[in-house]
Structure 1
Amino acid sequence: MLGIIGWCIEAEVIDSVDAFKSLDIDASKKYLLVSQTTFNSKTFDEITDYIEKKHLTNVVAENTICDATRKRQDSCLELASRCDVMLIVGSKTSSNTKKLYELSKKVCENTFLIENYKEIPYKYIDKKTIVGVSAGASAPDWIIEEVIKMLENLNNDMNEKNEQAEQAGTMHELLENYGGVSYIRTGERIKGTVIYVTPEAVSVNINYKSDGIITRDEFSMGEVQDLTKLVKEGDEIEAQVVKISDQDGNVVLTRKPLEEHKVWEELEAMKNDGTVVETIIVEASQFGIYGKVKGIKGFIPRNQISINRNADPSEYVGKNLKVQVLETKNNKGRRQLVLTSRAIEKQEKEAKDNEVWETIKEGEIYEGTVKNIQDYGAFVEINGIDGLLHINEIAWTRIKHPSEVLKTGDKISVKVKSIDKENKKLSLSYKATIKSPWALFLDKHQKGDVVTGVVTRIVDFGAFVMVDDIECLLHIKDLDWARTEKVTDILHEGQEVTAKILNITRKDRKVSLGMKQLVEHPFDKYAKDLKKDDIIQVEVTRILLDGVHVSVNGNIDCFIPIAKVSTEKLRTPAQVVKVGEMKDAKVLGIDLKGKNLNLSFILEDKGDEFENTEAASYQPEEANFTIGESIGNALGDLLK
């Protein structure tokens, strides 16, 4: 009825014609009258008669009472009218059984609703009493038969054993003394003798009209493979009744409930002792996994599965797992078993870790796995223990983040830098297991090699060039054969350059590079066709107190001493030349080795002492004051 009401927008429940009369029937609406299948057919007829009498044409009545129920009710009513005592057999919660009881009660005052033979009201029955029996649709046949059999035995006993009945004191005791067969009920504990055993089932004589059957699955809380190895014919066995009669007429028995109390006591002891047992995981959910211990299904919460917090419960199904009893809850009479495997895993890991801490050695190299990466470094697991690989120990070159070199799950070799056993700390180095860039550079390059690199920094005295992860110095004087005033006139950061290794200082780990060394010296090219006494054009570039610097061919720097500037005796060359002036100069000598020219502004042949073309070049010291100061001091009055 509740189901029907749930589907209806508007519904009213009535149980009599008076209840129907109290309804407010709206003539503009249509109504449907239906009945519970076990409803009193007489009452339903009374309601339909009233509908016809009042001409309620907008009310449609559908008789949904079960035909078998209707016939049962009619038969019950007819039988009850002829009996002194009426017994209605069935469940006290059954609707159709209650309806039979109510109908019978109307015509037979001594009507009783009973569930089995033990509830027969013997005090209302004597040898002259006419007893009628009816039953609800759900009442099992064997229960009805038991009630009828008890009444038949009762009738015989009353006629033949009246004296014994008086001594017994009650009709129930009399019934127990006769019949030779015990009477059992569901849930009752009984004892019997094993009469037959197979690997799958045990047959038991329980002093009942049928034998009891205990299947392998119902024999024990634990796993049973073969019953013939546990019991034999003639063994006395105790069990609990599950069902009075199965499809073969046997009494279905179980031993599990008898063992359960004992098993829970054992589980409690296991919890206190910390006993470790194995279980097969049979089920998984998002909250955890399930396995059986001593036949009791236990729950392992997700946070108790493993020390790995990210463990996937579904991966454990079908696997054997070591567990301990964590809790044996009793929630309102319902026992709950909570297990843990994490505690065991933690204990085993601690034992293994202690062993590793005793055997690991400083300075040794071990294989490890990158487990976690942080801004300051990475954690690497070695034989189950974690060590810190600081960012400074990851690479020989500077990196901003460990992820530039490593990723989680990488298998790497690391060297143990230091061990703190007391605080369980391990310091590791990855770069110590690989050759440094400097070592690799030395293996690959030597002095005189031509290399390619990228300009990383520019300073006043030159530029730094990265070659195979080594920063090398390219000095300003080695950029070009011509004098370079600014490095930025030739180079910029990020520029790729080719240079020659001029020097490698192993002790200081320094490398010097040169670019001009890759091209022919401009002096060599110019001097090929030059000979002594040739007259060439030069440009005055600097004026000193003791001479002037000139540029030959735009890229060869030469010095002309003051004695070769003029035939006149001068206090400073500025008296006769100026910067930027183009002048003719005579070649007095060519120094091929020193890559210098001996020049003179005096073009007339004065019998110079420079007879040898290999004459040593003159290398004067540059004045420590400017040309302006020189002119001001030496020719102040003249310039004024």
Structure 2
Amino acid sequence: MLPADNYQTLQETANRKEVLKAEEPKETESAGNWNPSSAEPLEDLAEAVAETEMPAGPAEEGAPPEMPSMAELLEKEFDLWQPKRGEIRKGIIVSISADGAVVDVGLKREAIVPASDLDRLGPDGRAALHEGQEVYVAVLRPSDREGNLVVSISKAREEEDWIRAQEDLESGRLLELAPVEANRGGLVVQYGKIRGFVPTSQLMYFPRRFSQAQKMERLQQLVEAQEPVPLKVIEVDRRRKRLILSQRQAWWEWKEQRKRALLESLQIGQEVEGTVTSLRDFGAFVDLGGADGLIHVSELSWQRVDHPKEVLKVGQKVRAKVVSLDRDRMRIGLSLKQMEPEPWERIRDLYTEGQLVEGVVTRVAEFGAFVRLPEGIEGLIHVSELADITPERPQDLVSEGDLLLLRVIRIEPERRRIGLSLRQVTEEEWAQWAASYKAEGAEDEDLE
């Protein structure tokens, strides 16, 4: 683009040529009899332009001046632009001295940081600055008396949190911030020097059916927990000092990241702590801090468990052992029962052949009845050991839930079997045992 004064010069030259042409004798010319010699040569136009006032250059006197290059014209036009007061720009420190600092902000001229502004950073802040460092600066004066662009590092640092928030909004960066306050509308979090807000509509596991009292109770729990919440910036308004964040938009990405990181750090056999988040027929899910592990129903206890609710409840804190890891499928297997010694490993210390024990019938089959003993070990009363006369159907003698007095007749730790007998309990032993229960029942009635 040519400067405006060059365009004006060319226009004046063109007008002068029109006047000269008007003063010449008029001749009728057509395309067929046009004579090139009668037309003004193009060199005349160039000479006329040269006679006008053009910028002086290094050429010799009398020689036509050179036209500005496109780069020079663009540079001149670019330099005409001035930053606005209060604008924040990123730059690189060129030099630092007792008089201040010089910062390259991408313009033709460099920006000046006064020494007084550096003093506001404090001794540590000023000492931390160095040449080549990337910093934010705020425009104080687009041009002082000497034409310098005056900027402030200290002022920009006051706005850095807003700049960072805007960058986080644009990049979608995942944040983890702890709530510092709760109000009727949501949570307040500290984002640097800025206070951000997370509306209840942007919180996970916050049902709409909650009453206002339930909402406040839940919000207060999050504040008192003092645990970081995964968040993303969804709105930044510096003018209104408005910073809005969302847990919903961050949740699944955060869960994925935490689970991958946790899977990489875990080892089989490692003990972990977590919170029960849900119960299913097949097991219990435990939150290990961003990633869920599964305790299969068979790993809940050494005793028989039909449903996880018999052992656990949602919200309960548990300590479990990692028993399986599938990093490709991102699955973590946990065990609760392996936190305790396996009863079969000390079966000989617990029971001896001929010993009388109590047990509860857990299942009745055609070949006998399974009984759970106090230590969680399950034994079998074979149908032949139910009575002196073998019944056709074991269900005719015992039922699920019956409490029985039994005699241990066989222990096989290697096969994890323990044989029990109802038939080999004498009538006298049975009567004494039954009487002890009646006595305990009478004592309970007296206490009531």
Q: TM-score range by the shorter chain?
A: 0.3 to 0.5
| Relative contact order higher in (CA < 8 Å, ≥ 6 apart) | 2
Q: Report which of the two structures shows the higher radius of gyration computed on alpha carbons.
A: 1
Q: What TM-score do you get using the length of structure 2 for normalisation?
A: 0.43
